[in-house]
Structure 1
Amino acid sequence: MMDRLLRVTALLVVVMSLSAPLARAQTAAPAPSADALAAARELVTTIHFVDQFKALMPTLMTSLKPAIVQGRSEVERDYDALMPVMLAAFQARFSELSEAVAIVYANNFTPDDLRGLIAFYKTPVGQKFLAKSPALTQQSLLAGQKFGQSVSVELRQRMIEELRKKGHNI
């Protein structure tokens, strides 16, 4: 169960990392300028942010499945039937996400910065990066999971050893 929770959490982190400034967003940030917001909206469109997020939604739903289904075949059958319905329902909210991410970008970059990013993503290497982003995200998630698993085992063992040195019976 904990491994599944870690995978879902890692997936959510990856989803949020598609918009790195999102992690630094402040809830009381001042409203961005109209120029910055317009450039940020264009950037969000240029990087196909919504399409990238849409591509991750089935993976997210699949990751949630074991925790919800818990080995019950009747729940699994209904979950599988509901998955396309749920995905379609959330499709309607992607414009809300797009606008929220545009505001985050507008609050973290100047209009000139945003135009520079747009220019980059319109270059051949920028387009290549965007085309490879889903695979890069998936591979990065797997690498992060493997790293997290190996570090957690080592960290746990070392912590136990250190606590034992301090006289704890662990």
Structure 2
Amino acid sequence: MKKTTIVSICAGAAMSVCLALPALAQDAKANDTHLQAAIDVVEQTGNMPEFEKQLELIVKNSKVWLVRQNPNAEKDIYEVVDKIAENYKDDRKNLVASAAVAWARYLKEDELKDVLAFFKTESGQKFATYQPRILGEMLGNIQAYSKETTQRIVAQSIKELNAKGHKFQ
């Protein structure tokens, strides 16, 4: 693939992302104070990935994608991507704003302010701290329940199907 094609694809992808964020924000908010309320909630919950780690992942994915397109340019790709990534090292606010769009899409501004007030309480801070663990445990418990229940249903079904003359072990 020609370098100009790769550059065009990357530029197009970057431009799409840049153009999409404001559109998403417009869909999700009635005004800037609505989105700001959502940003405040995102900041207060502390559930955002660490920006530096997220940027490292983005840079890594960019390199992998480009190297797949042109393995012979790997050295230059790494150098160029690292150089360009420097332009984004202070872009945390845009990551937070993109996450806040989801909050703003589902909650009105006054509701976001109520949520923010909750997260500022001792209980809210505790909830924010433990929420990822709680969700992880919930998911694990649901999977365990599903597995156990599936095994019981299958075992009971096999028993009845064998009684009807079907062969199951």
TM-score of the pair, normalised by structure 1: 0.47
Rg bigger for which structure? 2
Q: Which has the higher contact order (CA 8 A, sep 6+)?
A: 1
TM-score of the pair, normalised by structure 2: 0.48
